[in-house]
Amino acid sequence: MSCLQTIQDYGLRSLGLGERLLPRDNFTLCDQFVLIGSGMVWNVYFGVCALIAGFFLATLVAVGKGARNPLLRKPSEWFILVFRGSPLFIQFFFAYFLFLDLKGISPIFDAFTAAWLGALIVLFLNTAAYSGEIFYGALRSIPKGDVEAADAYGFSGWPRFRRIVWPTMLRLAWPAYTNEAIFLFHATTLVFFSGFPAWQQRGDALYYANYFADKTFNPFIPYPILAGYFILLTLCVIGFFGLVNRRLNRHLPGEARRRLRLRPNLIR
Amino acid sequence: MACYLTTGKHMSLYWSFGTVLLLLAITAPTALVFGFGGAMAARSRILPLRWFGKVYIMLVRGVPDIAFFLFFVIALDQAFEWMRHQFLCPDWDAPIRQGNDFVVCAAAKLPLSTAPQWVHEVYGFFTAVLTFAIVFGAFAANVLYGAMRAVPRGQLETAEAYGMSRHQVNWRILIPQMWVYALPGLSNLWMVLIKATPLLFLLGVKDIVYWGRELGGTANPRFTDFPHGDWRMWYFLALLIFYLAFTRVSELFLERVMKRLTRGQATTGGEAQRRAGA
């Protein structure tokens, strides 16, 4: 079987298209590359969706944590504490069994026990908490002069937030937020190893890599392939976030622009 | 209720909390040793050693850690068996990799197939600890490498001016001073390590996640005195709270350690303490 054939059969296997049965023996390098690559679809999906949705909630949480009213502040603080203080792995398990119980109450929750929605919600809340903390830190380090100048020009309320506070906050938080994004993508590999089942063997990249390692008993091929894919993904993320960073800092003189410095935090 | 919570299986659950603590207690120092070795290697003047140190640090950080956990457990196991195979059965001529199988002679199997159950469990735990130590060693190496570079250059130059050799500068000046700079990073790492312990489950150790799943599952009245529905949700809620409390306690503890260590140091933290005292 040629490699092109393999791509046709398994290129979108993780979405349930193409050949139904996974290869069982005589694994070629091509098989492994294609299947693990097709699993990456899920990693990208989880990462991108959680990141976009999480961004808005994170802004809300950050503003809430900075608010003076305890009715706004306390829930935000607890939200951040709970999601940053406990392992993501346990969160996945808890959410899965929670949804499973809710499913018994009402069929509305059917979709939530599937990974595409249930795990996405967990990742969304998790990343919102982590980036909320980052944004909160940035919010507190906005230069005093900026806000005073805005006051002097008669900005207040929403326009002041939208035009002055928010862009500055993003600009300050961006390097840390880039790291958060990278590690969110890494965290997506946990999904199919927690409670969420891979229905009809439609898993993510790590799921397939693990499948090959189990079948061939040789970890030295599938895991490096996976690592290669993830390094590529990380480079893409860095590239994209670098572009945004350039735009956020475009008003600053050349030397003052800080280059993105990557200080990845580790596991969640 | 008290009776339910003290069944034999629940006792195993409580013991597995001990497993987690034991893992933390063993891994933290081992990872520190690995990290120290890695950082020293990355600073070495010998080129291959330096490359090795840098690649070790870079690689583990660029890839999802869970992939490393899954990888190292098999790879380490095979490496040990391969070494024992070379050593114990030199006159074995069949290839080790036969297609999809990894075949070593019976004497080289680890643990021996005749060994009792607890040896298997201890061996599994041991590979898990080693895996954690390798992965977290890389993180620690990164922290320590940064800390070594943060020690003021003047200190080292002064030492050199006093005629100390490179070795002496390292051991008498650099290493005692770097810990203050390393501590924030290391305490952060400790938090991360706590949050990584549920991954033990993936390495095949019967830890709290395993028992939580086992015990919480629907209990059939035919097999147990305490039938109940699907309670896994509550078990995992308990685990969630356990981890939350654990991280909170260590956070408070590390804060105190940091306060103690910055006393008298030439950093902003130490300066602030001095002012507050004066």
Lookup: tokens for B234: 């509550």
Distance from CA of A165 to the nearest CA of B (A): 28
Q: What token pair was written down for B43?
A: 């600073």
B243/A223 touch (CB, cutoff 8 Å), yes or no = no
DSSP state letters, B210-274: HHHHHHHSPBPTTT-SS-BS--HHHHHHHHHHHHHHHHHHHHHHHHHHHHHHHTT-SSHHHHHHH
Closest-CA residue of chain A to B135: A266
Per-residue pLDDT tens digits for B192-236: 888 888 877 777 677 777 777 777 666 665 656 666 667 777 888
**How confident is the model over A198-224, as a mean pLDDT?**
82
Surface of A (15-34) touching B: CB under 8 A:
25
In a domain, B267, yes or no: yes
How many Cβ atoms from other residues are within 10 Å of residue A96's Cβ?
23
Taking contacts as CB-CB distances below 8 angstroms, the residues of chain B near A226 are: 63-64, 67
| Contact list, A218 vs chain B (CB under 8 Å) | 97, 100, 102
**What is the per-residue DSSP string for B94-162?**
S-SEETTEE---GGG-SS-TTS-HHHHHHHHHHHHHHHHHHHHHHHHHHHHHHHHHHS-HHHHHHHHHT
**Residue A170 distance to chain B (closest CA, Å):** 24
The domain in which residue B251 lies consists of 4-272
Of A73-82, A121-130, A156-165, B175-184, the range with the lowest mean pLDDT is B175-184
Q: pLDDT at position A258, please? A: 55
Q: Is B278 inside any structural domain?
A: no
Question: Can you give the C-alpha Rg of chain A in angstroms?
Answer: 22
Which residues in chain B are closer than 8 Å to A82, comparing Cβ atoms? Answer: 240, 244
Is there a contact between A40 and A233 (Cβ–Cβ < 8 Å)?
Answer: yes
Q: Which of A202, A266, A139 is nearest to A12 (CA)?
A: A202
Closest chain A CA to residue B230: A101
Distance from CA of B62 to the nearest CA of A (A): 6
To the nearest whole angstrom, how far is the Cα of A158 from the nearest Cα of chain B?
36
- Looking at the complex, does the CB of residue A70 fall below 8 Å from at least one CB of chain B? no
CATH number reported for the structural domain that contains residue B147 in this entry: 1.10.3720.10
Q: Do A231 and B66 touch (CB under 8 A)?
A: no
Any domain includes B224:
yes
Interface probe for B, chosen from A28, A82, A93, A211 (most Cβ of B below 10 Å), is: A93
CB contact under 8 Å between A223 and B65, yes or no, is no
Contact yes or no for B190/B250 (Cβ under 8 A): yes
In tens, the pLDDT along A97-149 reads 888 888 878 887 777 878 788 899 999 999 999 999 889 988 888 888 888 99
Q: What's the token pair of residue B272?
A: 């602030």
Q: Return the SS3 of A266.
A: coil
Smallest Cβ distance to A189: which of B66, B78, B101?
A: B66
Q: Where are the alpha helices (DSSP H) in A188-248?
A: 205-216, 222-248
Cβ separation B100–A217 shorter than 8 A: yes
Question: What CATH number is given for A3-256 in this structure?
Answer: 1.10.3720.10
Q: What is the mean pLDDT of each run of 10 residues along chain B (278 residues)?
A: 67 78 86 88 83 78 74 79 75 62 64 70 82 84 82 84 87 80 80 81 72 69 63 81 87 81 65 73
pLDDT of residue A60: 94
B220 within domain boundaries: yes
If one counts the domains in chain B, the total is 1
State residue A265's pLDDT score: 47
